[in-house]
Amino acid sequence: MPNSRVWLDVDLTAIAKNFKVIRNAVKPCELMVVLKANAYGLGMLPIAEHLVSLGATRFGVAELKEALALKKRFPKLPVQILSGLLEQEVDECVRHKIICPISSPTMARWISRAAVRQKRKAKVHFKVDTGMGRLGFPHLQAAAQIAAALKLPGLVAEGILSHFSSANNPQDGKNREQLSNFRAVLDELNAKGFEFPLVHMANSDAIHNLPEALSAPFNLARTGVNLYGVFDLEGTHAYLLKPTLTLQTKLLSRRLLQAGHTIGYGCTHTLSRDTWVGTVPAGYADGIPLAASNAGHVLIRGQSCPVIGRVSMDYITVDLTPCPQAREGDLVTVVGRSGKSKISIEDWARIKQTHPYEIICALGPRVERGYKG
């Protein structure tokens, strides 16, 4: 994108390959693609359109606005809000045939009332808290409370789900505990005569680490972050994925500064010798972590140039010593390949001591998104 200042190229061909690999890995389960938070900040509709052309059959999102945008574009495809609803969101969800989560008796009453008022049936998935501690019917009371909710008018129970807290670590006993809690709830509900067409618990990490979550009683798996070729920093990799993201900008300035010159807010770096210093027009407003101050690097002409000084809102400063041939206007690769070198989303996550999700979701709104393939 030659006229942009900072831009993100999303490689749809690579996303297509990843989608097919993941869809194959979860078989015989169906695959739900999770596109919440604007597809983790990468652009929901272009990615959704591409995935639908490849045969994606259902979407998961976090909230009403995301669901409405997908429903408007794909009126016939199932779009599901995964975890919870505010009362103010319920009417529109029901009206637009968005699949609603029910994660409490109160939510069940709201949805039932809206369905009755609108004289229609609301498709719902019950959410069970098997140990995540965030949302859902607490597993010990879940069977009784869900059975009671199912007596309310206007609800069609299409599914039941839970969510792992520690699926990135296959050794963590919490995973087995959550699976067993979920099975107990299902058994109790089945014994009461309730069946759910869709039963699901696995996210990307569980698809890699917990094969138990991909066979009966489970018949659906949810994937988000893996679509973009991004892995959790822990856990095993059951399959390989293609990187899909390139974040680039251009070198804005190149100056020779004298030894002893300090760099940036707080003077956190002092040049030990005369140094060619480059200024790159991307900062924390674009998603470069503040933690990259005096820690990260970018690629110019295939060379790794360290970030010096503190990352500011709109700029970072880099030491151009490894790339003496650098010139104003040169391409600067923040994520992706340049020559034989590469920087991944996971590299930035390690620098920030966070997970890759936060890095991609933090790419700022002024980063121009473009889609290849």
Ligand X SMILES: Cc1ncc(COP(=O)(O)O)c(C=O)c1O
**Is there binding between residue 83 and ligand X (CB under 6 A)?**
yes
Shortest distance (Å) from residue 231 CB to ligand X? 10
CB atoms within 10 A of CB 76: 6
How far apart, in whole angstroms, are the C-alpha atoms of residue 345 and residue 356? 6
Considering only the stretches 116-124, 172-180, 218-226, 331-339, report the one whose residues sit in contact with ligand X under the rule CB under 6 A: 218-226
Backbone angles phi, psi at 126, to 5 degrees: -85, 135
- 111-150 mask for ligand X (x: CB under 6 A)? ----------------------------------------
Shortest distance (Å) from residue 156 CB to ligand X? 20
**Is there binding between residue 25 and ligand X (CB under 6 A)?**
no
CB atoms within 10 A of CB 224: 20
**Is there binding between residue 282 and ligand X (CB under 6 A)?**
no
**Is there binding between residue 248 and ligand X (CB under 6 A)?**
no
Q: Which two tokens stand for residue 101?
A: 């989560």
The smaller minimum CB distance to ligand X, of residues 287 and 309, is found at 287
> Judged by CB under 6 A, which of 23, 50, 163, 369 binds ligand X?
163
**Is there binding between residue 355 and ligand X (CB under 6 A)?**
no
Considering only the stretches 10-18, 224-232, 243-251, 268-276, report the one whose residues sit in contact with ligand X under the rule CB under 6 A: 224-232
How far apart, in whole angstroms, are the C-alpha atoms of residue 75 and residue 93? 13
How far apart, in whole angstroms, are the C-alpha atoms of residue 149 and residue 55? 34
Sign (positive/negative) of CA torsion 38, 40, 41, 47? Answer: negative
Shortest distance (Å) from residue 342 CB to ligand X? 22
- Helix (H), strand (E) at residue 6: strand 6-11
**Is there binding between residue 225 and ligand X (CB under 6 A)?**
yes
User: Which residue of this chain has its Cβ atom nearest to ligand X in the complex?
Assistant: 224
**Is there binding between residue 317 and ligand X (CB under 6 A)?**
no
- Contact predicate 126/159, CB 8 Å: yes
- Contact predicate 105/145, CB 8 Å: yes
The smaller minimum CB distance to ligand X, of residues 11 and 232, is found at 232
- Contact predicate 201/222, CB 8 Å: no
The smaller minimum CB distance to ligand X, of residues 232 and 330, is found at 232
> Judged by CB under 6 A, which of 223, 303, 317, 333 binds ligand X?
223
Annotated active-site residue 265? The verdict is yes
- Contact predicate 326/301, CB 8 Å: yes
Beta strands 303-308 and 341-343 are: unpaired
> Judged by CB under 6 A, which of 50, 222, 250, 369 binds ligand X?
222
Beta strands 275-280 and 253-257 are: antiparallel
The CA-based angle 42-370-286, given to 5 degrees, is 60
**Is there binding between residue 332 and ligand X (CB under 6 A)?**
no
Annotated active-site residue 36? The verdict is yes
Binding site for ligand X (CB under 6 A): 34, 82-83, 163, 203-205, 222-226
